[in-house]
Structure 1
Amino acid sequence: MALVKSTRIESIDLLRGIVMVLMALDHVRDYFHYDASLHDPTDLETTTPILFFTRFITHYCAPVFVFLAGTSAFLYGSNKTKTILFRFLFTRGLWLILLEIGVNSLNWTFDLSYSFVVLQVIWAIGVSMLCLSFLVFLPRKLIAVIGIVLVVGHNALDPITMQGNAIESVIWYMLHQANGIPLGDATFVYFAYPVIPWIGLIALGYCLGSLYTRGYDRSLRKKWLLGLGFGSIILFFILRGINVYGDLVPWSEQDTLSKTILSFFKVTKYPPSWAYLLITMGPALVLLHYLEYVKNYIGDIILVFGRVPLFYYFLHVFVIHVGAILGVILFNENGMALVSSISGNPIAGLAAHGYSLFMTYVIWIVIVTLLYFPCRKYMIYKINNKHKWWLSYL
C-alpha cells in the first residue's frame, strides 16, 4: 500500500500512531472488561500480571502525546515568526480546552446535562499549549531548564494537599492535586490531569524539536535520542531503587516476587511523577530512534493514526462507547432495559456487563481496524487541503 505523500516527519507520526493505537486498548478495557467496574487494574491485591501490563503499556500514551505536541509546535514554528507561533499555540490551546469541556466529556458519558465533566489529556495539552505560547519567546536553553525543573521538581510539592472548593484549592487541583469540585447543583468537575508536569513535558518536547530541523545531522540526532532514552531508563531504576523521591507512592516488598515487581513499576500518573515520565519517555525516545528505519506495510497503517491524532481521539472514544452499548443490548436479555437502568458512572455500568480480558483484546483489534478507514480518508483530505487554515486545529 503506497502512503499518500506528506512532508511530515514519519518517525514522529509513527510513534504518535503507536501510542494512539495503545490508547484505544486502555479505553476498550474501561468499557468492555468486566473487571473494570470492580477493581483498579494496578491494585496489587486484585490484579494479575497480564492485567497490570495491559494498563501499564498504555501509560506511554499521554506523555508521548503531550511531548510530541511540543515537538510538533517547534516544527510548525521553525519557519515562522515567534508572534505567529504564539498566536497559533494560544488559540489552539484555548480550542482544545473548549473541546475537552464541550465534546470530550459528552463523548465519554453521553450525558447531555453535563453532570460529570472530567478534564483529561486534551485539557492538559490545551493548558500546556497556552503556557508554551509564552515560553517560545525565551531562549531554547532556558525553556529546557524550565521543563526539567517542572518535571523533576514537582514531586517536592506532593505533601501539599488541599480540600474544599475555595479558589486556592481549585487552582491547586488544576496545578498539582487531582480532585474535583461541584459546579452549581447539577455539575461536578474533576481535574484528572493536574498540569504542572505536563507543562514541563511539552516544553521539553518543544526543545527536542531542534533535532529535526532541516540540515541537522541524522546520526547525531540518533545519538541524542538513544542517549536521552537509555539515560532516562537507567535513571528510573536508580530513582526507584533509592525509593526516596520521584513518586507519590514508594514501592514496597510484597508477599510474592511478582507482586514486588509490580509494586516497583506501579508509578503515579495523576499527576505524572518523575519516575512515571522517566519509564515512559525513556523507551519512547529509544523507539523514536529506531522508527527512522521503519518502512513497511504495518508502518504505513500506523502512520495514518499518527497523522490525524485529534480526529482519531474523539472518534475512537465515540466508537468504543457506542460499541459497549450495542454489546449490552445485543448480548444480554432485556439489554435495552439494562442500558437504560445504568446510572452514576456509565463507563463502569457498561463494563459490568462486559467480557474477559482476552475478548477485550479482540474487541480492541476490531475497533482499531474499523477506525483505520475513516482516519485514512480524513488524512488524505488534510493532505490535499493544506491551504485550509482551520484544518491545523483539527
Structure 2
Amino acid sequence: MSIERTARASGIDLLRGIVMVVMALDHTREYFHINAFFEDPLDFTKTTPVLFLTRWITHFCAPTFVLLAGMSARLSGSRKPDSEHSTFLITRGLWLILLEVTIVNFGLWFNLSYSQTLLQVIWAIGFSMVVLGLMVRLPFPTTIPALAIFLIFGHNLLDNVSAPEGSVLAVLKTLLFQPGVLPVGEGKIVISGYPALPWTGILLAGYSLGSLYFRSVSVIRRKRILLWTGVGAVAGFVLLRLLNSYGDPSPWSRQSTGIFTFLSFLNTTKYPPSLLFTLMTIGPALILLSVFEGKTSFLSVYGRVPLFYFIVHFYLIHLLSVVFMLISGISWSDIHFTNGTGGVVQNQGVSLGWVYVVWIAIVASLYFPCKGYAGFKSRQTSRLWSYL
C-alpha cells in the first residue's frame, strides 16, 4: 500500500525538526548552566519558574521522538513484505542499541574506560524496534495497537512491585520498567535511565497511527483523527491529574505560591514515562501533526536526519563545554570524565540567559551540516544508509 509522501514529509519531519531543536536546549542547559549536573531543575526548593519551564518544555521531545519513530517505521514498512520489514526492524533496533552503548555514551561522558553506560532514548527506540520487528510477523493486525494501549495505560500498575536485589527479576525490572543502576563488572555500571517497555508502548502507538498516512486515508480524515485523539489525550491528562489517584507515582500538591502549585500539576514522571506524562506530551504532538499537515519550514531539515543530528549535537555541545571551562580558567587536571558529570565542574557555568544564547548558536551551526547530509543521504542507493 502506498503512502502520502508529501504529508509525511511536511508533517512528521517538521514536528520532528522542532523536537530536535528543543531537545538541544535541555542538553545545552545540562552542560553549560551553572550546577546543572548537580541540582534538579524540577526541585521546587531550588528552582525558579523559568528554569522549571526550560526543563519542562523539553519533556515533549523524547515521547514525540519515539512516537514519530514508530510512525516512520510504519511508513517504510508499507513498501516491504512483512518478513523483510521484520528483519530490518530487528537489525536496526540492535544497531541503535550498539550505537547507544558506544558512540552516544562516549559523546555523553568522554570517558574512554566506559565505567558507566547510560541507557537513554536511543536504547529505548532500539529495544522497541526489536519488539516491533517480532510483532509484525504476527497474523493478528490488532495485536500491536492493543499492546500499545496496555503498556501506556497499564504499566503504572507495576510502580510498587519489588524484586529481590541482585535477582534476574530485579535486573529485568530495572531494564524494562523502573530506572536504576546495574553493576556489570569491577568498577563498571549500567544506568537504566529509559526503562524500555513504557517507551515501547509509545513507539507501538506511533506505528499504529502511521496507517493514517496511507493514500486510502483522506487528508481531512487524517487531520480530524489526529486532532481529536490529541485533544482527548490532553483532556484525559487534565482529568486524571485532577483526580490525583492513578497514572503517576508523584501526585501534585499545593505549594507556597499559585504558580508553583500549577507547576506541581505539570510535574509528571518521565523516568519511566507515566501514563499522565505520556498523555501530557503525546496529546499536543498529535494536535501539532494535524496543524502541520501540508506545511514545511527550515526546521524540517533537522527532522530529516534525526540520528545524525542527535549524535553530532551531543558531541558539539560537550566539546564546547570543555573548551568553555578551559577558557574560564579551569585546569585540565580538574576536569574529570569518569565522575558521572562528563567533566563538568561544580559551581562553574553560565546563567540561564546565556544558555539560550549558546543553544541558538549551536542549533544554527548545525543547519548546513544537516542539510548537506540529508542531500548526500538522499542520493545514496545502498540499503545500508537506511540504518543511518
Tell me the equivalent position of 1:275. 276
Q: Report the residue type matching 1:357 in the other structure.
A: L
| Residues 342/315 of structure 1: CA separation in 2 closer, same or farther (3 Å cut) | closer
Q: Report the residue type matching 1:230 in the other structure.
A: V
Tell me the equivalent position of 1:390. 384
Task: State whether structure 2 residue 151 is matched by structure 1 residue 150.
Answer: yes
* SS state at 1:149 partner: helix
Tell me the equivalent position of 2:24. 24
Residues 276-285 or 209-218, more deviating: 209-218
Distance in 1 separating the partners of 2:346 and 2:377: 35
Distance in 2 separating the partners of 1:269 and 1:143: 23
Tell me the equivalent position of 2:300. 303
Task: State whether structure 2 residue 332 is matched by structure 1 residue 336.
Answer: yes
Identical aligned pairs, as a percentage?
A: 45
Task: State whether structure 2 residue 309 is matched by structure 1 residue 312.
Answer: yes
Asked if structure 2 preserves the Cα contact closer than 8 Å seen for 1:30 and 1:347, the reply is no
Render the CA deviation track for 1:142-191: whole Å, top value 9, x for unaligned. Answer: 31111001100000110113463322211110111100111111211111
Tell me the equivalent position of 2:358. 363
Asked if structure 2 preserves the Cα contact closer than 8 Å seen for 1:6 and 1:383, the reply is no
Tell me the equivalent position of 1:68. 68
Q: Which runs of 5+ in 2 are unaligned?
A: none
* SS state at 1:38 partner: coil
- The structural deviation recorded for 1:337 is 4.1
Render the CA deviation track for 1:339-365: whole Å, top value 9, x for unaligned. Answer: 3x5651234724642100000000000
* SS state at 1:9 partner: helix
Task: State whether structure 2 residue 47 is matched by structure 1 residue 51.
Answer: no
- The structural deviation recorded for 1:11 is 0.7
Distance in 2 separating the partners of 1:285 and 1:76: 20
- The structural deviation recorded for 1:201 is 0.9
Tell me the equivalent position of 1:254. 255
Tell me the equivalent position of 1:244. 245
* The one of 344, 368, 381 aligned to 2:376: 381
Q: Report the residue type matching 2:36 in the other structure.
A: A
Render the CA deviation track for 1:217-247: whole Å, top value 9, x for unaligned. Answer: 0000000011001110011000000000000
Tell me the equivalent position of 2:188. 187
* SS state at 1:51 partner: helix
Asked if structure 2 preserves the Cα contact closer than 8 Å seen for 1:32 and 1:350, the reply is no
| Residues 154/334 of structure 1: CA separation in 2 closer, same or farther (3 Å cut) | closer
Distance in 2 separating the partners of 1:29 and 1:70: 28
Task: State whether structure 2 residue 289 is matched by structure 1 residue 288.
Answer: yes
| Residues 79/293 of structure 1: CA separation in 2 closer, same or farther (3 Å cut) | closer
Q: Which runs of 5+ in 1 are unaligned?
A: none
Runs of 4+ in 1 over 4 A off after TM superposition: 5-8
RMSD: 1.7
Distance in 2 separating the partners of 1:343 and 1:123: 21
Asked if structure 1 preserves the Cα contact closer than 8 Å seen for 2:10 and 2:294, the reply is no
Task: State whether structure 2 residue 135 is matched by structure 1 residue 135.
Answer: yes
Distance in 2 separating the partners of 1:142 and 1:390: 30
Count of aligned pairs between the two proteins: 383
Tell me the equivalent position of 1:160. 161
| Residues 8/288 of structure 1: CA separation in 2 closer, same or farther (3 Å cut) | closer
Q: TM-score, normalised by structure 2?
A: 0.95
Distance in 1 separating the partners of 2:32 and 2:7: 38
Tell me the equivalent position of 1:86. 86
- The structural deviation recorded for 1:97 is 0.6
Distance in 1 separating the partners of 2:183 and 2:151: 29
Asked if structure 2 preserves the Cα contact closer than 8 Å seen for 1:151 and 1:274, the reply is yes
Distance in 2 separating the partners of 1:238 and 1:355: 39
Q: TM-score, normalised by structure 1?
A: 0.94
Distance in 1 separating the partners of 2:97 and 2:338: 27
* The one of 311, 322, 327 aligned to 1:325: 322
Task: State whether structure 2 residue 340 is matched by structure 1 residue 345.
Answer: yes
